[in-house]
Copies of this chain bind each other. A is one copy, B any other.
Amino acid sequence: MKLENDLYLRASRGEEIERYPVWLMRQAGRILPEYRAVRASVSGFKELAETPELASEVTVQPVDLLGVDAAIIFSDILVIPDAMGLPYQMIEKKGPWFENTIKTDSDLSLIDKNIDVEDRLSYVLEAIALTKKKLNNRVPLIGFAGAPWTILCYMVEGSGSKTFSETRKLLYTNSRLAHELLQRITDVTIEYLKAQQKHGANALQLFDSWAGILGHDQYQEFGMKYITQIVDAIDGPLTVFAKGAYSSLPNLMDLSCTTIGLDWNMSVINARSLCGNTKTLQGNLDPCVLYGSHESIQSETFKMLKSFKSPRHIVNLGHGVYPDIHPENVKTFINTVKNYEI
């Protein structure tokens, strides 16, 4: 079935577009009162993410209420370690927490081998299929996963961290174990992303949230190596968003994916000069712009749009939308992009 609005997909492939497509990372969940109402009806984040009916409902909300050009499935990057045998809890106001972590070779026994990805992550795949029905071909649906380096960070550290020094320590003290885990995460992630496509995801995004804590050479060895495997295994529109990977931008441009996500500190002009017209760039308004007045949101958004020297752009923030942003401000951002003539 042809989508009514396939701007996101055409922009991904570098095809002609009438205007730039726009969506927001973290648009499902966080900011909408309608989301909070659904969230209040369950025990916590995990129950919501693991209940396909509800996960699909909150996935569609920003399409109905904000008018974005793509939906992204409501889920979390930590479903992968969970499926691999390391369950997490999402603790209110604190973030993710793992009872078991991987720090030594013997901890590897905690990880299940040869898992049936479609079975263990059936709740995400069902949510995708349900969302597709609810979207009724209005806009594309984006599936996603965490990049292996970021997933490793959580599996070793067991929670968020300012430095992820336990994980970085492992790179120096037991790099073989790090590579073993990264390879296992990569294999499961490839299966998972393909399953998301099979169940209806029109496009995919890989989030490497902690790319920026590694220097260039370590990011090549422990980050890019596995991202490359994933990108090479996947067909169709795929965005790699490696937050903070400033020194690896030239390497990211050599990946075989369609799209590179930029954080708000990355220069669009620099990124464009690195990739020419071979990549679609996604991003990258500072999410804090949305705290400002409607006039200032408009002028900052215009400033970004005017810096685009190619139609190969998907507009987004440079990070997930912050939870205390007013939905009206998000609408101002979205409408400014929609009314902008390329």
Contact = CB atoms under 8 A, between A and B. Distances in A.
A163 interface: yes
A216 B288 contact: no
Interface in A282-338: 286-289, 291-293, 296, 300, 319, 322
A168 B286 contact: yes
Nearest to A324: B165
A67 interface: no
Contacts of A300: 172
Contact of A215 (B213, B286, B292, B322): B286
Interface string A147-169: 00000000000001011010011
A123 interface: no
A325 to B, nearest CB: 9
A14 interface: no
Contacts of A289: 172
Given A172-B288, A172-B289, A215-B265, 11 more contacts: A163-B319, A165-B288, A168-B286, A168-B288, A169-B291, A172-B291, A172-B300, A173-B292, A218-B286, A246-B247, A246-B265
A276 B212 CA distance: 26
A171 interface: yes
Nearest to A171: B288
A171 B213 CA distance: 25
A45 interface: no
Given A165-B287, A215-B286, A286-B168, A265 B247 contact: yes
A70 B293 CA distance: 49
5 contacts: A163-B319, A168-B286, A172-B288, A216-B267, A247-B267
A17 to B, nearest CB: 26
Most interface-central of A244, A265, A289, A300 (chain B CB within 10 A): A265
B172 A214 contact: no
A216 B318 CA distance: 14
A264 interface: yes
Interface in A66-99: none
Contacts of A293: 173
B265 A216 contact: yes
A212 to B, nearest CB: 7
B165 A322 contact: yes
Interface in A244-271: 244, 246-247, 264-265, 267
Contacts of A171: 288
Nearest to A216: B267
Contact of A265 (B165, B169, B212): B212
A160 B162 contact: yes
A216 B296 CA distance: 19
Nearest to A303: B217
A214 B162 contact: no
Contacts of A160: 162
Contacts of A215: 264-265, 286
A172 B292 contact: yes
Nearest to A169: B291
* 3 pairs of A and B residues whose beta carbons are closest in the complex: A172-B292, A168-B288, A169-B291
A293 to B, nearest CB: 8
